[in-house]
Structure 1
C-alpha cells in the first residue's frame, strides 16, 4: 500500500523526468569533467602551487571523486551501467575496487537492514556477540570511532581493515569470485602511483598517506552519523541541513532520507524534492535531523555520539 507521501514523491519525480535537466544530466557531466580535470590539473601545476596547497586540493578532489562514484552507482549520468562505471573505475581514492564498493553499497539500500551489523555492509555498529569477544584495545578504538574527531582519525583505517579482512576471509574459504576484481584494482593502482611519481614528482607514499587517507577522512564526515538504530526503518536515516560547502562535496547526500527514498534521483534534484515535501520528510525522519556537520563537531568532537554495540532493534 502506498502512502500519500509515496504517491506525491512519484508525481514529483515523474514531473522532473519530463524536464531537460533530468534527461540530459548536464550537471553530472560537468561534475565528471570538473573532478577529473581538477585532479589532473593540480598534479600538473604541483610545483607552482607548492606541496601543501596542492595536497589540500588533491584531498578535496579525491573526496569529491568518492561522492561522484556514489552517484555513478545509482545510474547516472547515462542509462548504461558499463559506461557509468568507466567514469568511476580509476583508483584515484586508492583503497577499494569500484565494483566491491558498488556491490556493498547497493546491498546497503535495503532499508529494512540498515544499521544491523550482520546485514548492513556500511554499519558502524557491532553485534553484542562480537563485542563480547572483542579485546579491550579494539573496544577502545570502537568507542573512539564514535567521536567526531576519532572518526576522522581512525574511521578510514577501520573501514579499510574491514574491507580487506572480508576479502582475505573470502579467499581463505576458497571463494575466488572477486580475485580478478582485486587484481585489476591493484594493477591499476600500481600503474597510477608510478605514473604520478614519474610524471609529476609526487611520491606514491605521499599520495597514499597524505592525500588518499585524509580524503577518506573528509568523506567520512558525511557517514559519521547518517544512520541510527530505530524500530521504524525510515527513522534510521538522517536529514542533515548542511552548509553549502558540504552540500557540494557530498552532492546533497546529506539529505540522506530523500536519497534512500528515491535512490535514482540525481544529486541536483534532491534539495528540490525535499523542499517540496519538507514537513512530511521531517515527520517521517522521527526527529532524526541535524543542523549541519558543525553541530556534530561541536557536540561530539571528543564525546561518543552513541554506543558501538547495536541494540538489535528489528
Structure 2
C-alpha cells in the first residue's frame, strides 16, 4: 500500500531551514551589531526549533524517521536531549493518563497526598509556578531539575535507553559549542540565557494545554489564535486537534479545526480560549488550576479503557518502527 505521507513536507522543511538561518544570524552578525537583538533572535530561533523537534518526533518532514531526526540532531535547545523529549512526549500522548501526576511526564499536577507532605517553601514555589508569569520565569528551571533528577535515577537503575538519550545529546551540544567558538560572536552565557528564554516562551503554550477533567477527551485545549505565537508553536494551540490526530502536520491543524469546530469543542467539553491575549489577561498573575490534582484519582470509563488499549498498540508499533530505524536501545 502506498504511504499517504508525502516524500517531503516542504512547509516544515523550509521553516526548518529558515530557523537555522535565523539561529546562525542571531549568534553571529546580530549579536555583534546589537547584543539585545541577537539575544531576542536566538530565543525565537531556539523556541521555533523546539517546536520543529516536536514535528519530527511525530513523523515529519520526511517518510524516513531517521532522516527527519538527522535534521534536528544539533543540540540547539541545550537542556533537553531530543531522544528524551521524544520518549517522554510519546508517553504523554497516552491520552487516558493525561494530567496523571505519575504517568503523564508533562503533567503539572501533584498527587494530593504527596502535596500535603511538601514544605511550605516548596508549596509556595509551585503555587507561583501555577501562574503564567511564574511558569515562564521558573517553569524551565523546575522542568530541568525534574528531568535531571528522574533521569539520573533511571540511569543508576540501569536504564540504557535514558543513558543513550543523554549520550547522543553530547555531540549535538558539541556542534553548538563548536559553532559559537569557531564562527559565532555570542558568548556561551548569553546562549544559555537564550535557550532558557526559548523554553520560557514555550511555557506559554504548555501552561494550559491540559486540564483536570473526568473524561480524557475533555482535557486538551483549543486556543483559536492564528497570530505569531501560533506560528512559533506550530499551531499546537489547536491542541485538542493534535491529540485527536497526532500524525497530522502542523500546517493542516487549523483547517482540520475549522472543518470540525463543533465536533472538537463538543469533544473537549468547551475547553477553548479566543487567543493568547485573553490567557495573559486571565492568568498572568493568577493560577488556572490548583497544584494538587483536584479530582485525583480519575476513573477510566470503558470506552477510555478501550482507547488506552488502542493507544498502547500504536505506541508499541512506534517502538517497532524505531527499532527498525536502528535507534532502539532497550531499557533494563
TM-score norm. by structure 1 comes to: 0.89
Contact kept? 2:8, 2:63, Cα under 8 Å: no
Quick one: distance in 1 between partners of 2:181 and 2:60? 32
Instruction: Please say which of residues 184-193 and 57-66 is displaced more in the overlay.
Output: 184-193
Q: Which runs of 4+ in 1 moved over 6 A?
A: none
Quick one: distance in 1 between partners of 2:279 and 2:169? 34
Match of 1:150 in 2: 134
Alpha carbons of structure 1 residues 264 and 231: separation in structure 2 relative to 1, 3 Å: same
Quick one: distance in 1 between partners of 2:24 and 2:18? 10
Quick one: distance in 2 between partners of 1:175 and 1:27? 37
Alpha carbons of structure 1 residues 283 and 88: separation in structure 2 relative to 1, 3 Å: same
Q: Choose from 176, 182, 187 the match for 2:166.
A: 182
Quick one: distance in 1 between partners of 2:240 and 2:33? 39
- Superposed, 1:129-278 pairs within 5 Å as 129-209=113-193, 211-278=194-261
Match of 1:9 in 2: none
Instruction: Please say which of residues 272-281 and 189-198 is displaced more in the overlay.
Output: 189-198
Match of 2:316 in 1: none
Shift of 1:23: 5.8
Q: Choose from 250, 259, 263 the match for 1:280.
A: 263
Quick one: distance in 1 between partners of 2:273 and 2:292? 22
Quick one: distance in 2 between partners of 1:285 and 1:222? 17
Shift of 1:68: 0.3
- Is residue 304 of structure 1 aligned with residue 304 of structure 2? no
TM-score norm. by structure 2 comes to: 0.84
Alpha carbons of structure 1 residues 202 and 240: separation in structure 2 relative to 1, 3 Å: same
Contact kept? 1:194, 1:204, Cα under 8 Å: no
Quick one: distance in 2 between partners of 1:253 and 1:176? 31
Match of 1:71 in 2: 55
- After superposition, the C-alpha distances for 1:242-268 in whole angstroms (9 at most, x for unaligned) are 241111111111000000010110011
Match of 1:114 in 2: 98
Contact kept? 1:67, 1:251, Cα under 8 Å: yes
Residue 200 of structure 1 aligns to a residue whose secondary structure is coil
- Count residues in correspondence: 294
Shift of 1:137: 1.1
Question: Which 5+ residue runs of structure 2 have no aligned equivalent?
Answer: 300-332
Q: Choose from 55, 78, 85 the match for 1:101.
A: 85
Residue 88 of structure 2 aligns to a residue whose secondary structure is helix
